[in-house]
């Protein structure tokens, strides 16, 4: 940090006893360790220590403005206001559609791969949304944020639905074509379900 560049011009005040007072203003950048575990619902508290190398505490008077939150220079980011709606709700909707698609009945005639296509499309959609979220999360985080855990959980759920659908369709196609099905998945013919 270059002190000469960051100091603002100030005038010295000399009182009748000969005491010289110089009030110096300085603009400085302060970095804080961010705890983003609850992102995007996090709050950050930064502790800052000011000290002087040339004066002790009795000769140094530091004061802050009475307002703790100074939002005069704050510029609202339009993307943050839309994050709750444009990322969380559509991803939950994609997951619900995938789960509903998983529980829809299979066709007994011909190949029925639409359910697999739905699962793969949902995974691709979630990957794109996850990339959009990763662009918004600060890169300084040492932990996985809450929203990252949410998306990882949704992607795992969609993956399991697509994988199980693929396995079920493979089992059905083998049975329909007369091929030997997997031994551990065979259901005895005398076991049936009755719907009333």
Whichever domain contains 92, its CATH number is 1.20.58
| Cα(54)–Cα(22) distance, integer angstroms | 14
Is 121 within the bounds of a domain? yes
CA 109 remoteness from chain centre: 43
Is 4 within the bounds of a domain? no
Is 82 within the bounds of a domain? yes
Average pLDDT across the chain, whole number:
71
For residue 28, what pLDDT is reported? 67
Sign of CA dihedral 74, 78, 82, 87: negative
Residue 133 binned pLDDT confidence (cut-offs 50, 70, 90): confident
For residue 86, what pLDDT is reported? 60
Counting the structural domains of the chain, the total is 1
Is 144 within the bounds of a domain? yes
Long-range contacts of residues 98-107, Cβ cutoff 8 Å, at least 24 apart: 98/122, 98/157, 98/158, 98/161, 98/162, 99/157, 99/161, 101/161, 101/165, 102/161, 102/164, 102/165, 106/168, 106/169, 106/172
Q: Render pLDDT for 1-36 as a digit per residue (tens, 0 to 9).
A: 455 554 556 667 788 888 887 766 666 677 777 777
- pTM confidence score: 0.54
Is 57 within the bounds of a domain? no
Query: Shortest CA distance to 101 belongs to which of 128, 121, 75?
Result: 121
Is 17 within the bounds of a domain? no
For residue 72, what pLDDT is reported? 61
164: domain range?
78-178
Residue 55 makes CB contacts below 8 A (sequence gap 6+) with: none
Cα dist from 11 to 15, 16, 28, 62, 127, whole Å: 13, 16, 20, 18, 58
Asked whether 124 and 156 are in contact (CB, 8 A), the reply is no
Is 128 within the bounds of a domain? yes
Q: Render pLDDT for 36-73 as a digit per residue (tens, 0 to 9).
A: 777 767 777 778 777 766 666 776 666 665 555 555 65
**Is the omega angle on the peptide bond into residue 40 within 30 degrees of 0, that is, cis?**
yes
DSSP 26: B
Is 52 within the bounds of a domain? no
């Amino acid at each position: 940090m270059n002190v000469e560049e960051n100091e603002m011009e100030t005038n010295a005040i000399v009182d009748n006893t000969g005491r010289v007072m110089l009030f110096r203003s300085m603009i400085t950048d302060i970095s804080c360790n961010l705890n983003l575990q609850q992102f995007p619902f996090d709050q950050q508290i930064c502790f800052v220590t000011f000290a002087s190398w040339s004066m002790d505490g009795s000769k140094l008077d530091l004061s802050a403005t009475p307002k703790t939150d100074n939002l005069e220079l704050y510029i609202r980011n339009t993307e943050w206001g839309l994050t709750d709606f444009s990322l969380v709700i559509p991803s939950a909707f994609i997951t619900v559609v995938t789960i509903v698609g998983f529980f829809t009945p299979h066709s007994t005639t011909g190949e029925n791969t639409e359910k697999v296509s739905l699962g793969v499309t949902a995974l691709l959609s979630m990957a794109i949304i996850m990339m959009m979220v990763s662009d918004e999360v600060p890169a300084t985080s040492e932990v996985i944020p809450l929203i990252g855990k949410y998306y990882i959980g949704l992607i795992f759920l969609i993956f399991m639905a697509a994988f199980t659908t693929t396995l079920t369709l493979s089992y059905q196609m083998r049975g329909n074509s007369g091929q030997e099905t997997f031994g551990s998945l065979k259901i005895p013919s005398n076991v049936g379900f009755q719907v009333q």
